[in-house]
Amino acid sequence: MRAVVTGAAGFIGSHVAEILLRRGWAVLGIDDLSGGFEANLPAGIEFERLSILDPLDKVMGAFRPDFVYHLAAYAAEGLSHHIPVFNCRNNIEGTTNVLAAAYRAGVRHLVFTSSIAVYGHPSDGRAFSEEDPCHPCDPYGVAKLACELQIRTFREHYGRPDYTIFRPHNVYGPRQNISDPFRNVVGIFMRCALLGKRFPIFGTGTQTRSFSYVTHVATAIAVAPSVPRARNELFNVGADEITTIGQLGEIIAEVMGVQADLERLPARREVKHAHADHAKSDGVFSGDMPAAMSLREGLSAMAAHVRSNPVPPPTPCPSAIEIRDGLPPSWLRYAPPG
């Protein structure tokens, strides 16, 4: 089998590419290295340094993939309020470009990573189900939902490619970028631990999330085209263990061998409690999944990786700030002029 993986030098994309290579597939990675690192690319992959906004017909046509895994995106929900035009182009226009090029190249199945950001604020505290209505509350969630609809309507109109859409959440693990100041709270805390800095927490730290170890998520994504019950379906995928951001800081301090020192910052507008129901994905992919890993075990594995690799310089903001109103003061020093 032959597969193209967009975002292959990124976090989840590099793990998906690695799983496919282990299965004996030929894999072409596409990445512009704006948020990923060439060192993340697994051995044996072919690689093209391209943006998903670039013309892709030539590279798709030459490689002739059976499947496309579209993971390239800048996934920063909070920052998306302040870079809405970039967010729209990067997600909606980029996904449409990948989808159209995949169709013209004869691709049979497209796997897309969306986000539970499409659900917005929970109405009653329950975990989000795939059957719940979507009311995204940030431009990132809006864009991801638009991408889902584009993929579905494209298939309905043209008859292909088939698709599988995943809504992962709060994924962490080895190869996550720990130097992006705008996203990935696990990575931010681990970088602070390495550099002897305080862990920044917006508000009270009582916000809750379920942090998902990357291998669990990447495996479901990788095997999806080979699972008949996953064809033209949508799945939440991730962990069930509920943790507050404050508790997360305490555990990370422990596995990194430092004293927990939490810096309380002014609260920002965000979803307070975000969790997903995984009964559907568990039922379809249970036979393919690795053994479940507790949050402490997963953070320990990530900490070992982080300690054995150099800390990259801070990742720049991917765009000039388009709307500065409400931008958290702690982000101002990393934000280019708007």
Indicate which residues carry an active-site annotation: 140
Cα 266 → chain centroid: 26
Tell me the C-alpha distance between 168 and 113, whole Å.
7
Partners of 3 in the β-ladder? 27, 67
For residue 77, give both structure tokens: 């929900």
Strands 162-168 and 109-113: parallel
Q: Is 305 exposed, middle or buried (0-12, 13-18, 19+ CB in 10 A)?
A: middle
* Residue 202, strand partner residues: 265
Name which of 168, 173, 185 is nearest 14 in CA terms.
173
CB contact set of 298 (below 8 Å; sequence gap of 6+): 172, 173, 211, 213
Distance of alpha carbon 212 from alpha carbon 130, whole angstroms: 18
3-state secondary structure (DSSP) of residue 285 = helix
